[in-house]
Structure 1
Amino acid sequence: MKTILLHIHDDLGAESRLQAACDLARAARAHVQCVQVTPMLEILAAGVGDGLGYAPAVAAELHAIDETFRAQVEARFAQEDVAWDWRQMDGDSLPGLLSAAKLADIIVASLPESGRSSAKDPLPIAADLALGGRTPVLAVPQAAKRFAVTGRALVAWDGSHAAGAALRAAVPLLALAEAVDIVTIEEEGGTAFPATDAPEYLARHGIKAQLHVWPRADRPTEALLREAIATLRADWVVMGAFGHSRLRELIFGGVTRALLRTAPVPLLLAH
């Protein structure tokens, strides 16, 4: 991975995203592309009708706010030994980031700690970024202090296309990890899922991985994965985003949605 797209936004997750991008850039000898999206489309839409005359003034104020934050971020980058550049655009955050990510190898976004209740809470767009494009997403908890890419990695494996996409995308980073654990959850009824294809695939890339079949014991998958993360002391997790249809997960819940709310470590997501 040589090009890291960093979502620039003045929120409570800004520092953890920047630190994760820098940690990754140093480990992979990569370049950080900072992308800042000023939400002009929303402002113009709000200005239709009686408020149209206020739209330019509001737009100018938003640009000034973003420029102030840009100066703060550039001062932080001056303390980091990484290559970086800056791209600013007007529009909506999700399509703007997806457009900018066409030639990026990974997107760094945030995992909000809870529901978004104020403008300072990170935008909950990590899953939509993974679903909306072909670039994997590193979703970082907003309280994270660093991204230990060279530490222990955990691969959540269920044999789905989404899990396969995440595993393929993660190969360059898994090659940097000191240890890789592949965790698969017992099927209903206690039947072990045949997951040997995942470690065999990694072995062909020169990556040694240990396979763990986690007993279900009538517990939900997301709880079992959180237990595996704690037990194996994983520093980050590779998982497919929405292995089932998005509609099914919205109705019945889902592992992705649950971990997006409660993951204690960064998640590398792909679909």
Structure 2
Amino acid sequence: MKRAGGPMIKHILVPVAGLPTDAALLEEAFALARLFAAHIEVLHIRRDPRDDLPLYGESISAEILQEIVDEAERNAQKTAAAARRMFDDMVARASAIVTERPVEGLTKGNGVSVSWREATGPTAWTLPARARFADLTILARSAGEPMDLEVSQSVLFESGRPLLLTGGAMERLDTVAIAWNGSLSSVRAVAGAMGFISRASTAFILIADEGPMDALAGVLRGGARPQPQLLADHLVWHGVQATIHKVGRQGQPIGAVLVEAALALNAGLLVMGGYGHSRMREIILGGATRHVLTQPTGCAVLLAH
């Protein structure tokens, strides 16, 4: 008999940009919220056009600069209006309750509460600051664009909260794969994903074969060994019988190997630690982390740092 275990997911943050791609992100967020009877906070962030004025230098007159600002603000208003229409449409179709406070009577699989919020500032700064006050932030998969990668990394490294990258596999969340190497990041990822892991009917602990960089990784982990059986024993207390699954690398990038293994096991969620240095993330970013942030995976990925 399964026990309820792990931190409950009750407050989900979903940023929207006023683009057609927001619809799929909101659909997945609503599906996830129903699983946990969670509240969705939809956040639209406007960039302040005045932040870009220093880029124009002193050769442009004040009148032209004001025209640039006015045009940017008009475009920002149109984008915000498009985002709000998408939000209102989703609320209507889901019969969701718009509220700023908890609603009694919502149960798992029955009903969703939502709220709308706007903020102004650079997304890479504003989003992680807000994400610190949510249980989970959901982002659409980055497609390799620099800003997408910057934003996803900022949430991962600066929020202190788990990040869920969508993968179009919410219906397969009953099977979870945990990428485990004994690192502090993987420990935090498991803790942040316990709400998912404890409700899964099947869980796998993925252990990759040692590669040439594993000695360095061991040093970065403080010399910790993976010890997957200890993790499996721990999960038993949450009602989870996890199977240890060894993964052969065969010269492939570790990120691709982990994703392929998760898909082969029909996992709808891959849980892994995000490795990188918060202040130098543009330079130092773990290979597995970069892979799942920029490449399609076919499953959702939960990251924690």
Q: Could you say which TM-score interval applies, normalised by the shorter chain?
A: 0.7 to 0.9
Q: How many residues align?
A: 260
Aligned partners of 2:257 and 2:24: how far apart in 1?
A: 26
Matches within 5 A, 1:175-186: 175-186=198-209
Cα displacement string for residues 129-170 of structure 1 (whole angstroms, at most 9, x for unaligned residues): 1111111111114xx3x5236421111101111111100000
Residue 19 of structure 1 contacts residue 147 of structure 1 at CA under 8 Å; is this kept in 2? Answer: no
Tell me, yes or no, if structure 1 residue 17 matches structure 2 residue 16. no
**Closer, same or farther: CA 96–251 of 1 in aligned 2, 3 Å:** closer
Gaps of 5+ in 2: 1-8, 55-59, 95-110, 215-224
Residue 180 of structure 2 contacts residue 226 of structure 2 at CA under 8 Å; is this kept in 1? Answer: no
Tell me, yes or no, if structure 1 residue 228 matches structure 2 residue 281. no
TM-score normalised by length of structure 1: 0.85
**Closer, same or farther: CA 269–87 of 1 in aligned 2, 3 Å:** same
Tell me, yes or no, if structure 1 residue 206 matches structure 2 residue 239. yes
| CA RMSD, Structure 1 to Structure 2 (Å) | 2.7
TM-score normalised by length of structure 2: 0.76
2:137 pairs, out of 85, 94, 107, with 107
Aligned partners of 2:131 and 2:226: how far apart in 1?
A: 35
SS of the residue corresponding to residue 196 of structure 1 reads: helix
Residue 152 of structure 1 contacts residue 177 of structure 1 at CA under 8 Å; is this kept in 2? Answer: yes
1:128 pairs, out of 154, 171, 184, with 154
**Closer, same or farther: CA 13–270 of 1 in aligned 2, 3 Å:** farther
Between Structure 1 and Structure 2, whose CA radius of gyration is higher?
A: 2
Identity %: 25
The equivalent residue for 1:30 is 38
Cα displacement string for residues 100-153 of structure 1 (whole angstroms, at most 9, x for unaligned residues): 2232100011212x3329xxxx83322321111111111114xx3x52364211
The equivalent residue for 2:165 is 139
1:53 pairs, out of 45, 66, 69, with 66
Tell me, yes or no, if structure 1 residue 267 matches structure 2 residue 301. yes
The equivalent residue for 1:86 is 116
**Closer, same or farther: CA 47–82 of 1 in aligned 2, 3 Å:** same
Cα displacement string for residues 37-93 of structure 1 (whole angstroms, at most 9, x for unaligned residues): 0111xx113345533312134213312331232112211221124210000011111
Aligned partners of 1:242 and 1:79: how far apart in 2?
A: 39
Aligned partners of 1:183 and 1:219: how far apart in 2?
A: 15
What is the deviation of 1:16?
2.5
Aligned partners of 2:162 and 2:285: how far apart in 1?
A: 25
Aligned partners of 2:249 and 2:45: how far apart in 1?
A: 43
Aligned partners of 2:73 and 2:130: how far apart in 1?
A: 21
Matches within 5 A, 1:163-202: 163-188=186-211, 193-202=226-235
The one-letter code matched in structure 1 to 2:70 is P
The equivalent residue for 1:44 is 50
Aligned partners of 1:211 and 1:260: how far apart in 2?
A: 25
Residue 172 of structure 2 contacts residue 267 of structure 2 at CA under 8 Å; is this kept in 1? Answer: no
Residue 178 of structure 2 contacts residue 206 of structure 2 at CA under 8 Å; is this kept in 1? Answer: yes
Residue 199 of structure 1 contacts residue 208 of structure 1 at CA under 8 Å; is this kept in 2? Answer: yes
SS of the residue corresponding to residue 182 of structure 1 reads: strand
Aligned partners of 1:32 and 1:247: how far apart in 2?
A: 31
**Closer, same or farther: CA 116–212 of 1 in aligned 2, 3 Å:** same
2:86 pairs, out of 63, 68, 72, with 72
**Closer, same or farther: CA 123–270 of 1 in aligned 2, 3 Å:** same
